[in-house]
Structure 1
Amino acid sequence: MGHDHQPAPRAPRRLRIILAAVLVPAFLATGIATALLWPGAVPKADEADPVPRFHATVTKVVSEACPPTPEGPADPGPCGTATVTLDSGPDKGQTRETELPTGPGAPSVGVGDAVIVTPLTSAEDPNATVYTIADHQRGSPLIWLVVAFGVAIVVFGRWRGLAALAGLAVSFGVLLLFVLPAILGGGPPLPVAVTGAALIMFVVLYLTHGISAQTSVAVLGTLASLVLAGAIGTLAISLTHLTGYGDENAITLSLLHGDVDLHGLLLAGIIIGSLGVLDDVTVTQAATVGELARANPSLSRRELYRGGTRVGRAHIASTVNTIVLAYAGASLPVLLLVVAGGRGVGEVLTTEFIAQEIVRSVVGTLGLIAAVPITTALAAFVATAAHRPVKRRTPRPPKPRTDRSEVLAALASDEEAR
């Protein structure tokens, strides 16, 4: 079995009291805010004539040349028919024939594929139902990918990897059970996001890294950086006049749930996104300073801060590029669409959608930059306090004891002399 880091020395009692005096009220405030903002009944959007979706399996595929269209040459394909066996729905167990899906983004199917079909009313016979292939079933492949993901983390990280998986489950639970329902229910997005982020931070960091002074330093650094990122994000959104209506998803959400504050939702997304990278930096900085102090207990607080900051600079340099590329990769289709419109670079960069991504990147990066000195300074203070040698009181040498018989003999000789 591999060796893990050596356990950090136990912090002095006075330092533990100071950390608890700061963190316990913050945790209690988070719990109270969670109870006050907990969502009630979430209103559901009105759905007009919803189309059901059923599972089916492709049993036969017949391909053929596509016929020419009135607009021009024949469609390059695929054309033909597919035979499917319905696995759910009112016609479960029956076999139906349907046309192969065509058009941009149409799924390519083969024999044995698990697909999603939707029932439609036949144009020739209003009493008959025809099925069309809408999509692939992705449940089983996704499950296997998640299982492989979990196994890899547990094999490499062992108990800490298992704790990381539990922390990931907690994060999703807070988002799905608290943050999203509360915002959909008309709650203020910013307080909800801050409360959800703080709840995730407290539970996940202590669950993953254990209850210690080092973890408490990471929690304090994350909390301070989140507050700073929220303030910077509020100012940036105000200066750039962002409304939150930057893409089709936001517009659709406003149509289905008019009570959602998209302006606040934009800032909430920035805070939630910042948390994902902030805890990585703060935990790394706290661990780095702790390892430096264990390797050389004679290092002063200033030397520990300088050494940890050098590591933090290298970490920030790589993380900034990661943040920008992550946002650009997620928005690549929209970027291509905007650039293909023939607009100038300045006009493209100042559109609301691109400006949102720029603000996200800038706010997240500034939060990361602030997290390094804050966490490193706290970690250096805690590490020097934990490694400081305990001053022991030197016991006084015992006073020489005088034999009582000698004293009595001296007194007797004095009496005789008189």
Structure 2
Amino acid sequence: MKWSPKFNKLKSQRLTAQLCTVLVMLLILQLMIPFVSFTNDSVLAIENTDEQTEQKDQDKESKELESPEEKPSEKAPSVDPTQEKGESPHPEAEVIPEEEMEIFRGRVLSIEEREGDAQTDGFFSDTQYAEVELTSGPLEGETREIENIITGNPQYDIHLEENQEVLLAANYQNGEILELTLYDVARDRYIYYALGSFLVLILLIGGVTGIKTILTLVFTGFMVIKVLLPLILEGYNPLILSVLISTFVAVVTLTVIGGLAKKTIIAVLGTIGGLIVAGFLALYVGNQASLTGLSSEEAQMLQFADVADLDLQGLLFAGIIIGALGAVMDIGMSIASACQEMVEINPRVQRSQLIQAGMNIGRDIMGTMANTLILAYAGSAMPLLLLLTLYDMSYIEIVNMDLMATEIIRALAGSIGLLVVIPLTSLASGFMLTPDNKRRAKRDEPKTKSE
């Protein structure tokens, strides 16, 4: 099949635009790294300054509270001859350095198990004595024996096996290790295996698009971890931050995947509209339902963390927007791409026909995508659902629980955001992809009649 020169030129222009977009994205990443490091350094500097100010205030208060009997001694202080020479008046009182802890890797060589050898809280527990070879750190290659007490609580117990990789906590002073204890099982290797399989499949199936997908994933993770989270910890509004950063992520991601084309602009408009609707719906319903944002243990721990002005309710709404971002972008790009393909195949398609086609495509996607989002939230809340089923609670008790209401509103707000994307993207496709079709049709009518 031979392509026309116009098509080849258009294809080369799109490829060039996509490559330029990738380069711009890499440049943005390079420029943001110093900004984020500067932000983190500034936060640490502020914290250190606050600590020094508090210490000075405490010292000042302690001096003011001194008794009058001690004040005359300050006017005529006794001079110690050892101090004149620069020696310490108490040479035997040495400053003991604080203990530090570092995590090292190790591999279990052999295990000796003893039943009822240790006693914890009045109950006898089993003990494992393991020979472990250190595979990292200053003691790499050495073998040490560690003790692993098994209490019968699966939440805290670690059952060691031979050739198992473990993490060891080393407590040391002045570079000398004082104690070596079992910290946890090393799981990161298997995470890397799964991640490697994921990346290989993306490259094999996607090709160039797979490379773009990997770049956008890295960029999204960078924006969430290095930009969104530090700004939230500084006290900025989580809801506004999540909307702005999600919009920026959507613009960059869709531009890298779709190139500098009209379908990308259409998908971005639909995505932004869906995110705004989901965010404000969650904000309104959450405020009316008096959601606290403290439904999870992690949120309750953040309440007592040393973080000033942390909006936990806003953090809940921000999580709803971030959770729906991927699905919203998927629907927007799917509809915009399909509509652009229709216009390329039939340039004379009418605006109403294109809008109707976009709505039909959106309806097909809607059923599976809404199920995907709701089932994802239901899957994360599976232990909660099992507990409610086990204790046979009534419907009115279940639906009015803060934890359950939070999960329901989270799922519904994200799903409504998905639904709003469909008409928004379809309308944008109709008005942006077929602006002059009616004029063109009227202009071509006399030519058709004359022929």
TM-score, normalised to structure 1, is: 0.75
In structure 2, what is the Cα distance between the partners aligned to 1:39 and 1:367?
Answer: 32
In structure 1, what is the Cα distance between the partners aligned to 2:99 and 2:398?
Answer: 38
Residue of structure 2 in register with 1:147 after alignment: 196
Write out per-residue CA displacement over residues 239-286 of structure 1, whole angstroms, 9 at most, x where no aligned residue.
111111111100111211243111111111112122121101100111
Residue of structure 1 in register with 2:344 after alignment: 294
Q: 1:205 aligns with which of 247, 254, 264?
A: 254
In structure 1, what is the Cα distance between the partners aligned to 2:339 and 2:7?
Answer: 14
- Secondary structure of 1:53's partner? strand
Give, in angstroms, the shift of residue 179 of structure 1: 0.4
RMSD: 3.6
Pair 1:111-2:162 in alignment? yes
Give, in angstroms, the shift of residue 341 of structure 1: 4.6
The change in CA–CA distance for 1:197 and 1:315 in structure 2 (over 3 A counts) is same
User: Is the 2:349–2:437 contact (alpha carbons within 8 Å) kept by the matching residues of 1?
Assistant: no
- Secondary structure of 2:294's partner? coil
Pair 1:349-2:391 in alignment? no
Q: 2:376 aligns with which of 322, 326, 339?
A: 326
Residue of structure 2 in register with 1:217 after alignment: 266
In structure 2, what is the Cα distance between the partners aligned to 1:268 and 1:293?
Answer: 37
Pair 1:255-2:304 in alignment? yes
Give, in angstroms, the shift of residue 108 of structure 1: 3.4
Residue of structure 1 in register with 2:143 after alignment: 95
User: Is the 1:221–1:374 contact (alpha carbons within 8 Å) kept by the matching residues of 2?
Assistant: yes
Q: Which amino acid aligns with 1:115?
A: V
The change in CA–CA distance for 1:240 and 1:8 in structure 2 (over 3 A counts) is farther
Give, in angstroms, the shift of residue 206 of structure 1: 0.4
Write out per-residue CA displacement over residues 357-394 of structure 1, whole angstroms, 9 at most, x where no aligned residue.
111111111111110011011112233238785969x9
The change in CA–CA distance for 1:252 and 1:91 in structure 2 (over 3 A counts) is same
How many residues were matched structurally? 357
Q: Which amino acid aligns with 1:143?
A: Y
Give, in angstroms, the shift of residue 169 of structure 1: 0.8
In structure 2, what is the Cα distance between the partners aligned to 1:371 and 1:50?
Answer: 53
The change in CA–CA distance for 1:119 and 1:373 in structure 2 (over 3 A counts) is same
Unaligned runs of 5+ in 1: 1-5, 11-30, 122-126, 395-418
In structure 2, what is the Cα distance between the partners aligned to 1:58 and 1:380?
Answer: 64
Give, in angstroms, the shift of residue 335 of structure 1: 3.2
Q: 1:304 aligns with which of 332, 342, 354?
A: 354
Give, in angstroms, the shift of residue 342 of structure 1: 4.9
Pair 1:313-2:384 in alignment? no
Between 1:131-140 and 1:179-188, the stretch displaced more is: 131-140
In structure 1, what is the Cα distance between the partners aligned to 2:210 and 2:279?
Answer: 30
Residue of structure 2 in register with 1:188 after alignment: 237
Residue of structure 1 in register with 2:279 after alignment: 230
User: Is the 2:170–2:177 contact (alpha carbons within 8 Å) kept by the matching residues of 1?
Assistant: no
User: Is the 1:186–1:260 contact (alpha carbons within 8 Å) kept by the matching residues of 2?
Assistant: yes
Q: Which amino acid aligns with 1:333?
A: P
- Secondary structure of 1:361's partner? helix
Q: Which amino acid aligns with 1:80?
A: Q
User: Is the 2:105–2:135 contact (alpha carbons within 8 Å) kept by the matching residues of 1?
Assistant: yes
The change in CA–CA distance for 1:251 and 1:51 in structure 2 (over 3 A counts) is farther
Residue of structure 2 in register with 1:84 after alignment: 132
Give, in angstroms, the shift of residue 54 of structure 1: 2.3
In structure 1, what is the Cα distance between the partners aligned to 2:394 and 2:101?
Answer: 42
In structure 2, what is the Cα distance between the partners aligned to 1:385 and 1:146?
Answer: 45
Identity of aligned residues (%): 28
- Secondary structure of 1:107's partner? coil
Residue of structure 2 in register with 1:360 after alignment: 410
- Secondary structure of 2:169's partner? strand
In structure 1, what is the Cα distance between the partners aligned to 2:221 and 2:233?
Answer: 16
Residue of structure 2 in register with 1:274 after alignment: 324
In structure 2, what is the Cα distance between the partners aligned to 1:74 and 1:275?
Answer: 51
Residue of structure 2 in register with 1:26 after alignment: none
The change in CA–CA distance for 1:266 and 1:152 in structure 2 (over 3 A counts) is same
User: Is the 2:118–2:149 contact (alpha carbons within 8 Å) kept by the matching residues of 1?
Assistant: no
Q: Which amino acid aligns with 2:356?
A: R
In structure 2, what is the Cα distance between the partners aligned to 1:191 and 1:98?
Answer: 50
Q: Which amino acid aligns with 2:159?
A: S
In structure 2, what is the Cα distance between the partners aligned to 1:191 and 1:352?
Answer: 23
User: Is the 1:42–1:184 contact (alpha carbons within 8 Å) kept by the matching residues of 2?
Assistant: no
In structure 2, what is the Cα distance between the partners aligned to 1:350 and 1:219?
Answer: 36
User: Is the 1:293–1:387 contact (alpha carbons within 8 Å) kept by the matching residues of 2?
Assistant: no
Residue of structure 1 in register with 2:89 after alignment: none
In structure 2, what is the Cα distance between the partners aligned to 1:246 and 1:90?
Answer: 44
Pair 1:383-2:433 in alignment? yes
In structure 2, what is the Cα distance between the partners aligned to 1:59 and 1:140?
Answer: 18
Give, in angstroms, the shift of residue 344 of structure 1: 2.3
The change in CA–CA distance for 1:71 and 1:274 in structure 2 (over 3 A counts) is closer
Q: Which amino acid aligns with 1:83?
A: E
In structure 1, what is the Cα distance between the partners aligned to 2:205 and 2:377?
Answer: 29
The change in CA–CA distance for 1:141 and 1:387 in structure 2 (over 3 A counts) is farther
Give, in angstroms, the shift of residue 150 of structure 1: 1.2
Q: Which has the higher contact order (CA 8 A, sep 6+)?
A: 1
User: Is the 2:295–2:403 contact (alpha carbons within 8 Å) kept by the matching residues of 1?
Assistant: yes
Residue of structure 1 in register with 2:20 after alignment: none
Report which of the two structures shows the higher radius of gyration computed on alpha carbons: 1
User: Is the 2:374–2:415 contact (alpha carbons within 8 Å) kept by the matching residues of 1?
Assistant: no
Q: 2:208 aligns with which of 152, 159, 164?
A: 159
In structure 1, what is the Cα distance between the partners aligned to 2:311 and 2:142?
Answer: 47
TM-score, normalised to structure 2, is: 0.70
In structure 1, what is the Cα distance between the partners aligned to 2:171 and 2:368?
Answer: 52
Give, in angstroms, the shift of residue 346 of structure 1: 2.5
Q: Which amino acid aligns with 2:359?
A: T
User: Is the 1:107–1:134 contact (alpha carbons within 8 Å) kept by the matching residues of 2?
Assistant: no
